[in-house]
Amino acid sequence: MRMSQIVAVLVLLAEIVYSAAIESKWSPAFYSRYTFSNYEQFQPMRDRIEPAKLDLPLLNAAIFFETNRIRAAHKIPEVQYSPALEAAAYEHSVDMGKRHYLNHYTKPFPGDSSDLPRGPGERMEKYGIEVFGTKAENLATIPIGKHTYASWAKDVVSRWMKSRGHRSNILRHAGGKESDSLDNTRGNINFLGVACAPRIDKNRKVSYLYATQNFAHMAGKDIDSYRIMGYEPAR
């Protein structure tokens, strides 16, 4: 097979992986329609994850609501959805998925001394999060397995809760003060953006997903995160 033919096949396979999920069943407007207590009533949340038909915004939402479920159980105010933080999280998840690493700092490209590693704070600042203020990030990569969207979200959040650092980020509020003293100062975690991306191996097989949670005290820029992720929201 000629090199040009090989490239064409690889491009076609890449399109198959991503194009089937262009139209999401989820919409940013649904974040105000559902809560952690009823989001699983939305039928697609109970659908089994199919690697060839990944609906990443749907999975992002499931993790968001499971995070709020944990916060509510600990009597901590729920976080609000931030498209800017979702975009920042997606930028990192998709890079990790393409280049196969797991780190809070962006992996430099080989031989490029100008491409310095960027941390979560720098990525969030790109999307309008103030330099001074509380920010936090959780990362994970786990198999898709036979999960539904909701069950995969429960799995990843439960794993984070078993890790001291990740748990601290999920339960962070008001600088560690009692939740009834929470206000809108820079010391609080008020907003969350979650984004997942597939890990595609050399055989173009998707069996693992990366997940990034970005927390901050503010929402950031008013942007269209779905356009950045390459999805059309449900209508």
pLDDT (tens, 9 = 90+) of the chain, 235 residues, equals: 443 333 333 333 333 344 444 799 999 999 999 999 999 999 999 999 999 899 999 999 999 999 999 999 999 999 999 999 999 999 999 999 999 999 999 887 766 665 566 899 999 999 999 888 889 999 999 999 999 999 999 999 999 999 999 999 999 985 454 333 233 344 689 999 999 999 988 777 888 999 999 999 999 999 999 999 999 999 8
Beta-carbon count within 10 A of 70 CB: 18
Rounded to whole angstroms, the Cα distance separating 43 from 64 reads 17
Residue type, 209: L
- pLDDT, position 117: 60
CB atoms within 10 A of CB 195: 27
Rounded Cα gap, residues 152 and 23, in angstroms: 21
Token pair of 130, please? 């103030």
How high is the pLDDT of residue 6? 32
Length of the chain: 235
For residue 212, what are the β-bridge partners? 139, 195
Three-state SS string over the chain comes to CCHHHHHHHHHHHHHHHHHCCCECCCCHHHHHCCCCCCHHHCHHHHCECCHHHCCHHHHHHHHHHHHHHHHHHCCCCCCEECHHHHHHHHHHHHHHHHHCCCCCCCCCCCCCCCCCCCCHHHHHHHCCCCCCCCEEEEEEEEECCCCEHHHHHHHHHHHHHCCHHHHHHHCCCHHHCCHHHCCCCCCCCCEEEEEEEEEECCCCCEEEEEEEEEEECCCCCCCCHHHHHCCECCC
Specify the amino acid at residue 12: L
